Amino acid sequence: MKNIKLTYVALFAMLALLWLAADTVLSDPYQFFALRASMMNLTGIVAMGAMSAGIMLAIRPVAIESFFGGLDKAYRLHKWLGITALVVSIIHWGWAQIPRWLVGWGWLTKPARKPAVEETVAIFRFFRNQRGLAEQIGEWAFYLAVVLIALALIKRFPYRHFFRTHRLLAILYLCLAFHSVVLMKFGYWSEPIGPLMGVLMTGGSLAACVSLLRKVGYRRRAVGVIDELVHHTDNRVLKVALTLKDRWSGHDAGQFAFVTFNRDEGPHPFTISSAWRGDGKMFFLIKGLGDYTDTLPTALKVGDMAVVEGPYGRFSFGGDAKRQIWVAGGIGITPFVARMQALTKAPDGKDIDLFYSTSAPDAEFIGKLRRRANEAGVRLHVQVADVDGRLTVERICAAVPEWKSADLWFCGPAGFGQALREGFVKRGMSPDDFHQELFEMR
């Protein structure tokens, strides 16, 4: 989390400072419309900077995973950037429209337009001739982008519709990039802020083209065939086992992949629940949590094809601590299943306690989990919420008195993880020793 926060702050601090170095808002005498022009340029730069960085993250660049601690962390930054772009774009629109309304109502007096100075740079003459078109395109692209970003933030909006509509943002981004290039103050291009915005918008435009051409993660895809389906009805978990037909680079326990069972539905992220053996086989444990995953037990059949894209993530179970505490909430058990399978073949010598908290216990599922834990040398603690109550920091510390010498790996509901993190940090655990996957891709 530290690196995504630093990146977020650094991006906007750099944009604001370079804009301030290029603008004359502080040195010029105060005039409302001059201030308005400067604020429109500032908010436009910040909004486009956020959109550019966000759309580049959306194409899942693997190279930045190590820096951010996994694609899940990068997608959290992507979400923050989208919200920032939405808010700042609305402010930008307000600076553009509200003064016009006030002039129309007679509450403001617009200063007389100065005679246009002849532009000597050919490209700037072209931009000046395109201003009207750029303003119209930018306004309508803004309205549509507000709607699409808002829909992306509404969790109840079905994923299959989100998948389709979110791709449209790539088209709107290209329209807004044209709007920004044409309307940005010409003087900025000779200052550091100009080349920086040029780099950001070029990168964003290339990422938008990758999205529109449906090439996101193209080199990391493999086609597989479903060869086993096991439905645990009590906890609504479906095991989907695949045999890959294409080359797969391998994966580590704790990583996830985007899996497409239905082209119309699009790829969904699922944690890989099996260790890699090099034989092309893997399986996923998928919880019925919504209108799509609830249908999978009846929709999928042995022999169906699937596309797997990945692997992604840095939930790696690494670190120097000789003791580890694993905490799984519900379907958050999946990375730990894969890790136990890996430890069965290659023990790492660490002392491990696994706490599995569930509100929907399935006897068969828990039985398999106990066998895997025994084979891997992991102590399993099952906490059934309706019988045993909530799993708390106090209960974990009581079960593992040596917890201060351990690092903790959590996968499960975000609120549950936040409560545990805060509780352990208050007891003296370093935040760097609490590892949590932010498994929210929208």
| Alpha helix (H) residue ranges in 346-390 | 363-376, 385-388
The pLDDT tens digits of the residues spanning 148-179 come to 998 888 877 787 788 888 889 999 999 999 99
Angle, CA 270 vertex, CA 208 and CA 151 arms, to 5° = 45
Cα distances (Å, whole numbers) of residue 201 to 54, 85, 148, 176: 11, 14, 20, 10
pLDDT over 90 at 326, yes or no: yes
- Burial track 248-283 (b if 16+ CB lie within 10 A, e otherwise): beebbbbbbbbbbbbeebbbbbbbbbbbbeeebbbb
Angle between helix 159-183 and helix 193-212 axes, rounded to 10 deg: 150
Which domains are seen in the chain, by residue range? 2-212 (1.20.120.1770), 219-312 (2.40.30.10), 323-436 (3.40.50.80)
pLDDT for res 163: 81
pLDDT score for 401: 95
**How many other β-carbons are positioned within 10 Å of the β-carbon of residue 316?**
16
Q: Which band of pLDDT confidence, cut at 50, 70 and 90, is reported for residue 395? A: very high
Query: Has residue 79 got a pLDDT over 70?
Result: yes
Exposure of 111 by Cβ count < 10 A (0-12 exposed, 13-18 middle, 19+ buried)? Answer: exposed
What are the tokens at 15? 């944009």
Which are the contacts of 36, defined by CB distance < 8 A and separation ≥ 6? Answer: 95, 99
Cα angle value 190/195/196 (rounded, 5°) = 130
pLDDT at 289: 79
End-to-end CA distance of the chain: give it in Å, rounded.
Answer: 17
| Position 392, amino acid | T
DSSP string, 388-410: H----HHHHHHH-TTGGGEEEEE
Task: Determine which of 47-51, 94-98, 114-118, 419-423 has the lowest per-residue pLDDT on average.
Answer: 114-118
Model confidence over 103-121: pLDDT tens digits? Answer: 999 999 888 777 767 777 8
14-71 per-position pLDDT tens digit: 999 999 999 999 898 999 999 999 999 999 999 999 999 999 999 999 999 989 989 9
